[in-house]
Structure 1
Amino acid sequence: MKLKLFSTTESNGQKPKKSKLREWVDAAVFALVVSTVVRGLIFSAFAIPSGSMEGSLLTGDHLFVSKLNYGARMPITPISIPFLEAKIFDGSVSTYWDGIKLPYYRLPGFSSIKRQDVVVFNYPPEIDRPVDMRSHYIKRCQALPGDVLKIVDGQVFVNGKAAPNAPKAQTSYMVNTDGREINPQLIHDLKIELLGQIADNQFVMIIPPDGLAAFKACTNVVSVKPIIEPKGQYDETVYPHDPRFKWNNDNFGPLMIPKQGHTIPLNDSTLTLYGSAINNYEHQTITRNGDHTLINGQKADHYTFKQNYFWMMGDNRHNSADSRSWGFVPEDHIVGKAMLTWLSIDSTETTLKKIRWNRMLRPIH
């Protein structure tokens, strides 16, 4: 028996009208695809959760981050739930599956990373996760591949020249008073952060530069002095976490930032400085056999880096976990350039004052 084939087109040549439910489903799928492409290739929105970049960026700032400037990074872990963090429910549940991993590839960008750019990147120490599933951090780029960085009494030097300080960069101060209480409303209004109290009349505070003069003018404030960790004082929390390098947050280096194609000799010093990067980010296994160094089981007296690295630091220098804590940021961890503050919410204010209107649509420098 011959079967008659029915066309999906009505006799008048028009397609059947979609149901309302089908229209909603199609619209939702289209919106999901477009938003995923935009978020993956063009820009993403991020919120500032901590004070490490204050006062350049404030806790509660919501940012647009361009992925076009440095070139969009293609997904390394392609199977994940979009628009969710890699870990949810206090880190107990993963929103991705790492059974499939793709090689690192980045589309051409408008420019390369420049010193003083404010950059979003994946947090390098989370080596138990795929690169693109690591937490997002935001810092200012202080040094590029091949640069030599040094910090002297809190001032960053790159290739022997003092690096510009962010106009609203913050640091900590030792404050001595005459014993009278400092007005809490003044502390709030000047956005001062109290880090600790040493004695009845001695405090450690982070004071924004805009309010420093007004704070010093208070009649009960005797002295305000910047806190600088002295040269040669070893801080075990500072990279490379080895007493042979007596470095701290304010006096650090000199340190060469690895560059793709740059070759270093392998000895005790270079292995201390660069061994973790070679192991964790270049995925080469380094071992020692007596006086010899082995890379992937083969004797080696030098190593050539396979990718570029960067040095990132927060503008709030004494309240920032950054490259001084964990070292270099590999190129494949770079997400994008912070471009614009589109919304800013101050959780410490009352309902009517929560939105910082003066920071709306503000370019990031």
Structure 2
Amino acid sequence: MAGYFSVFLVLLTLGSGLIWLIDHLLYAPKRKERIALAQGASEQPLDEETIEQIAPVPAITESAKSIFPMIAAITVFRSFIFEPFQIPSGSMMPTLLDGDFILVQKYAYGIKDPVWRSQLVEVDDPQRGDIAVFKFPLDERIDFIKRIIGLPGDRIVYRDRQLYIKPQCDEGEQQRDGLACGEFNKINLEIVNRDEFKQGAMQMVRLTESLPGVTHDVLVTPQLPELTERYYQQPGTRRDEWVVPEGSYFAMGDNRNNSQDSRMWGFVPKENLVGKAVFIWMSFDFENGPDSILPSWVPTGVRFERLGNIQ
């Protein structure tokens, strides 16, 4: 849907701009000539009503001239600077909740054209721990949001709810991006609480996960089995192990037992990246119970405490 809206904005901008330009170059000078001739034949200055009768501006031209600056500004802002997104599910809990409205920094990973999404300007590569929005590799009409866990060349293991990362290093290098070379680095986990979140009747455990340079919280549901039989099987590796190809990234949801991510479908190509999630600008509660007269999509409250930069 976001992709279709981007195309619509671009077409509306081009259409209104083209109408304005054609009128400015061809028809506006002719209207001015008619007004000048009428003014020369009149002894009194012409009022606005008379001018409108002599040289009327077509309604479509008036509309194009009025909306073009606004639509052009929106298109530039949304396509190249920031784009708003709504979090539609709980796969990034506890970092992002269903009902959060976020801003995505579009230029973080490069400037792309808004229609074909070809790279126009190289800016930066994703860093480990970034929360990134990207086009779902199996259906690019859908936008996904996950945390970047693995960089190109990394070897990733997710076993017994524990994450291990072995970075790709140059010969003789002892450390890469805060991780020891030549070994699997066990990513530290510390329990925060066991009673904040529930999945049905099951308690979820909130833990702090310490990636190099980035500390963030994750959720696990101990009662749920690891669905390793559904994991993406990369040729030449074990079921719960993956080697990130060049030009791709390994992404996971913070809600580890409730996220369809790289463990299930593979890697995120760099060209699929949309931008980096940086700010929560609004957050709604949707807690309409079965007895509520309000539809489920009507918010029941605003979570002002969640507004601000995304950690």
TM-score range, shorter chain: 0.5 to 0.7
Distance 1:235 1:148, change over 3 A: closer
One-letter amino acid of the structure 1 residue matched with residue 127 of structure 2: K
SS in 2 for 1:34: helix
One-letter amino acid of the structure 2 residue matched with residue 364 of structure 1: I
1:117 aligns with: 130
One-letter amino acid of the structure 2 residue matched with residue 326 of structure 1: W
Summarize the alignment of residues 34-113 of structure 1 with structure 2, pairs less than 5 Å apart: 34-75=73-114, 77=116, 104-109=118-123, 111-113=124-126
**Inter-partner Cα distance in structure 2 for 1:164 and 1:73:** 36
Q: 1:206 aligns with which of 204, 207, 211?
A: 204
How far is the alpha carbon of 1:6 from its aligned partner? 5.8
1:357 and 2:304 aligned: yes
How far is the alpha carbon of 1:337 from its aligned partner? 0.2
**Inter-partner Cα distance in structure 2 for 1:76 and 1:34:** 16
Distance 1:162 1:341, change over 3 A: same
Summarize the alignment of residues 308-319 of structure 1 with structure 2, pairs less than 5 Å apart: 308-319=247-258
Summarize the alignment of residues 292-331 of structure 1 with structure 2, pairs less than 5 Å apart: 308-331=247-270
8 Å CA contact retained: 1:142, 1:313: yes
How far is the alpha carbon of 1:162 from its aligned partner? 2.9
Gaps of 5+ in 2: 1-28, 41-45, 167-183, 209-220, 293-297
Distance 1:7 1:49, change over 3 A: closer
2:243 aligns with: 256
**Inter-partner Cα distance in structure 2 for 1:238 and 1:116:** 21
8 Å CA contact retained: 2:129, 2:148: yes
SS in 1 for 2:302: coil
CA RMSD of aligned residues (A): 3.7
Distance 1:319 1:327, change over 3 A: same
8 Å CA contact retained: 2:205, 2:222: no
One-letter amino acid of the structure 2 residue matched with residue 125 of structure 1: L
8 Å CA contact retained: 1:139, 1:312: yes
Distance 1:332 1:43, change over 3 A: same
How far is the alpha carbon of 1:108 from its aligned partner? 2.3
8 Å CA contact retained: 1:74, 1:107: no
Moved more, 14-23 or 324-333: 14-23
How far is the alpha carbon of 1:228 from its aligned partner? 7.2
8 Å CA contact retained: 2:135, 2:274: yes
How far is the alpha carbon of 1:23 from its aligned partner? 4.6
**Inter-partner Cα distance in structure 2 for 1:26 and 1:7:** 16
SS in 2 for 1:226: coil
**Inter-partner Cα distance in structure 1 for 2:197 and 2:233:** 33
8 Å CA contact retained: 2:280, 2:309: yes
Q: TM-score, normalised by structure 2?
A: 0.63
Distance 1:72 1:193, change over 3 A: same
SS in 1 for 2:78: helix
1:157 and 2:164 aligned: yes
Q: Deviations over 1:81-134 (max 9, x none)?
A: xxxxxxxxxxxxxxxxxxxxx8x324222x3200000000001112xxxx4xx2
2:8 aligns with: none
Identity of aligned residues (%): 29
**Inter-partner Cα distance in structure 1 for 2:75 and 2:310:** 24
Distance 1:237 1:357, change over 3 A: same
1:295 aligns with: none
How far is the alpha carbon of 1:239 from its aligned partner? 0.8
Q: Deviations over 1:10-69 (max 9, x none)?
A: 448999688695555422232222212221111110000000000100000001000111
Gaps of 5+ in 1: 78-101, 174-186, 195-202, 211-224, 260-307
1:347 aligns with: 286
RCO higher in structure (CA 8 A, sep ≥6): 1
**Inter-partner Cα distance in structure 1 for 2:309 and 2:138:** 30
**Inter-partner Cα distance in structure 2 for 1:166 and 1:346:** 28
1:193 aligns with: 199
How far is the alpha carbon of 1:75 from its aligned partner? 3.8
**Inter-partner Cα distance in structure 2 for 1:6 and 1:352:** 54
8 Å CA contact retained: 1:153, 1:228: no
Q: TM-score, normalised by structure 1?
A: 0.55
SS in 2 for 1:339: strand
Distance 1:49 1:346, change over 3 A: same
Q: Deviations over 1:270-307 (max 9, x none)?
A: xxxxxxxxxxxxxxxxxxxxxxxxxxxxxxxxxxxxxx
**Inter-partner Cα distance in structure 1 for 2:112 and 2:105:** 11
